[in-house]
Amino acid sequence: MDAQELLKRYADGERNFTRVSLIQVCLSEANLIGTHLIGAELIKADLQGADLTEAHLNQARLNQANLAHAKLAKACVVNAEMNQADLSGANLSDADLSGSNLSWAHLGGADLNGANLSQTNLSNADLRSTNLEGANLREANLTGVNLDSAYLEKADFRGAIMPDGTIHA
């Protein structure tokens, strides 16, 4: 399947694109609200500015994908592979990213207000100026993470491996 076929089928009302292969596809600025992309292959995909609000991306492979300024509010992205993905400026408020791999991801300026990041691998991720207000980071791996100017009010770090390697009580 290519981008044009997916967008046509979406426009016709289809929402289930489970396990579809869209490697290096360009879907920038696409409207994909509520789409089911469970287990999809989106490696190196261009989803910059795409609207994936309430999308289901469980177990999707988004390694090195461009999701800068994408809307993923209330999206379900459990156990996804997103290492080296660009999520800078993305809206991930109230999204469920639990158990996902976001190592080396760029999340600078992203909104993760109320997001579930429990047991997420964020090692070496860039979280500068990120909004993590009320985020669940229980048992997350934050080794080597840059949290400069991040907003951490009411974030839950219990059991998380902190940037310096210590475990938060």
Q: What are phi and psi of 156, to 5 degrees?
A: -105, 110
> Could you give the C-alpha distances from 33 to 19, 23, 48, 85, 150, in angstroms and in order?
17, 20, 14, 20, 28
Q: What is the CA radius of gyration of the chain?
A: 15
Overall pTM > 0.75: yes
pLDDT of residue 169: 78
**Identity (one letter) of the amino acid at 32?**
L
- 160, 142 contact by CB (below 8 A): yes
Share of the chain above pLDDT 90, in %: 97
The CATH homologous superfamily for domain 1-169 is E3 ubiquitin-protein ligase SopA (2.160.20.80)
Residue of 128, 59, 123, 132 lying closest to 94 (CA atoms) = 132
How far apart CA 86 and CA 133 sit, in angstroms, is 20
The mean per-residue pLDDT over the stretch 102-121 comes to: 98
- 74, 56 contact by CB (below 8 A): no
Give 168 or 15, the one with higher predicted confidence: 15
Whether residue 146 is predicted with pLDDT greater than 90 in this model: the reply is yes
**Residue reference for tokens 């869209």:** 22
Contact partners, residue 117, CB within 8 Å, separation at least 6: 97, 98, 100, 135, 136, 137, 140
The mean per-residue pLDDT over the stretch 14-19 comes to: 97
The mean per-residue pLDDT over the stretch 73-97 comes to: 98
pLDDT of residue 41: 97
Residue of 57, 52, 99, 98 lying closest to 76 (CA atoms) = 57
Token pair in block for residue 103 = 């190592």
The mean per-residue pLDDT over the stretch 29-44 comes to: 98
Whether residue 46 is predicted with pLDDT greater than 90 in this model: the reply is yes
